[in-house]
């Protein structure tokens, strides 16, 4: 199979900090992943495989480490067409970093506050990318991802509140929502997110689900520079998907504030809400996908 023409995608990503590949996964592939979600959640205790919505133990909002819980996600994270696009963005030597699955249930799905992924896990360089795969047709009504175009060129915003890392940009530093664009796309589309892009998603106020699988990747020569519990846990699951490993760390200049949280947390939802009971309570100590 010939390599896809990714020139426009790369240009968009460099300029805006995000880019969309529409319908990169076909309908059958999307259906297989949605079936896999149902299968993963078909357990007596949903809390053993997923984080639940506050106040509703029956409603999952995030499946931990989906690639470890179902082979369909493992295959999706290594999907050759997806990796061709990742290669165009971060180069030929690609490590799987971690993955997660967000389930924004109709009228329930939680907010994801404004943040940059790099604030959670700074590395020696910024050749990291998250692929957000929509598993439902996604519009503003059912929580399309929102982003500030070009924000990836302006360094790291302040993710601290009251002296601790809280994984969100609030107050005077918060982006002006009128500068945001909503990234609407049909199921099967992938939004590629630069690690310094400011992004957000609203609660789901529609009657439709908004499910998204988010595998994250990094260049083999991007090494973590912080090993706090949530970032360090990813490392056990990091593996080469394409190209070669690197015995060299490529270092970009810059100053990065470290994500020193007040207490251990499981997911960005918990951190941003000021919750978090620590690894044992959330299950992330065993599943290794924190953020």
Ligand X SMILES: O=C(O)CCC(=O)C(=O)O
Residues lying near ligand X in the complex (CB under 6 A)? 102, 112, 117, 143, 145, 199, 201, 212, 214, 268
CA atoms of 193 and 173, how far apart (whole Å): 20
**Residue 198 Cβ vs ligand X, minimum distance, rounded to whole Å:** 10
CB 193 within 8 A of CB 151: no
Q: How many CA atoms lie within 13 A of 190 on its CB side?
A: 26
91: phi then psi, degrees, rounded to nearest 5: 100, 175
Nearer to ligand X, 145 or 219 (CB): 145
Nearer to ligand X, 21 or 112 (CB): 112
Nearer to ligand X, 94 or 197 (CB): 197
CA atoms of 274 and 270, how far apart (whole Å): 6
Of the candidates 273, 252, 249, 251, the one whose C-alpha atom is nearest the C-alpha of residue 261 is 273
**Residue 2 Cβ vs ligand X, minimum distance, rounded to whole Å:** 32
Nearer to ligand X, 93 or 194 (CB): 194
Give the position of tokens 């000021």.
Answer: 274
Nearer to ligand X, 196 or 212 (CB): 212
Per-residue tokens: 9: 């995608």
Give the position of tokens 């996604």.
Answer: 138
**Residue 143 Cβ vs ligand X, minimum distance, rounded to whole Å:** 6
Which alpha helices (H) appear in 71-116, and where do they start and end? 71-77, 80-90
Of the candidates 54, 130, 110, 111, the one whose C-alpha atom is nearest the C-alpha of residue 289 is 130
**Residue 104 Cβ vs ligand X, minimum distance, rounded to whole Å:** 7
Nearer to ligand X, 195 or 264 (CB): 195
CB 230 within 8 A of CB 120: yes
**Residue 286 Cβ vs ligand X, minimum distance, rounded to whole Å:** 20
**Residue 95 Cβ vs ligand X, minimum distance, rounded to whole Å:** 18
Nearer to ligand X, 59 or 249 (CB): 59
Q: What share of the chain is helix, strand, coil (3-state, %, to 5)?
A: 30, 25, 45
Nearer to ligand X, 93 or 159 (CB): 159
CA atoms of 195 and 121, how far apart (whole Å): 9
Of the candidates 239, 230, 207, the one whose C-alpha atom is nearest the C-alpha of residue 93 is 239
A 10 A CB-CB count for 75 gives 14
């Amino acid at each position: 199979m010939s390599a896809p023409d990714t020139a426009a995608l790369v240009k968009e990503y460099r300029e805006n900090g995000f880019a969309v590949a529409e319908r990169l996964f076909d309908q059958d592939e999307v259906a297989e992943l949605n079936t896999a979600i149902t299968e993963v959640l078909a357990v007596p205790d949903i809390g053993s495989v997923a984080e639940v919505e506050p106040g509703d133990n029956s409603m999952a909002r995030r499946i931990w480490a989906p690639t470890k819980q179902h082979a369909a996600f493992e295959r999706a994270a290594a999907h050759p067409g997806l990796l061709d696009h990742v290669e165009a963005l971060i180069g030929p030597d690609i490590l799987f970093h971690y993955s997660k699955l967000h389930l924004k249930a109709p009228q329930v799905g939680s907010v994801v506050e404004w943040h940059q992924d790099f604030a959670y896990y700074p590395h020696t360089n910024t050749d990291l990318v998250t692929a957000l795969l929509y598993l439902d047709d996604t519009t503003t009504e059912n929580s399309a991802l929102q982003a500030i175009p070009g924000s990836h060129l302006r360094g790291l915003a302040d993710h601290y509140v009251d002296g601790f890392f809280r994984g969100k940009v609030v107050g005077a530093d918060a982006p002006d929502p009128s500068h945001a664009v909503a990234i609407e796309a049909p199921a099967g589309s992938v939004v590629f997110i630069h690690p310094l892009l400011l992004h957000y998603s609203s609660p789901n106020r529609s009657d439709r689900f908004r499910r998204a699988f988010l595998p994250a990747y990094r260049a083999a020569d991007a090494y973590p520079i912080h090993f706090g519990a949530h970032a360090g846990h990813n490392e056990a699951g990091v593996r080469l998907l394409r190209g070669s490993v690197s015995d060299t760390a490529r270092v970009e200049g810059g100053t990065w504030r470290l994500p020193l949280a007040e207490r251990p947390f499981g997911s960005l939802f918990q951190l941003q809400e000021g919750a978090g009971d620590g690894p044992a309570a959330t299950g992330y100590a065993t599943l290794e996908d924190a953020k």
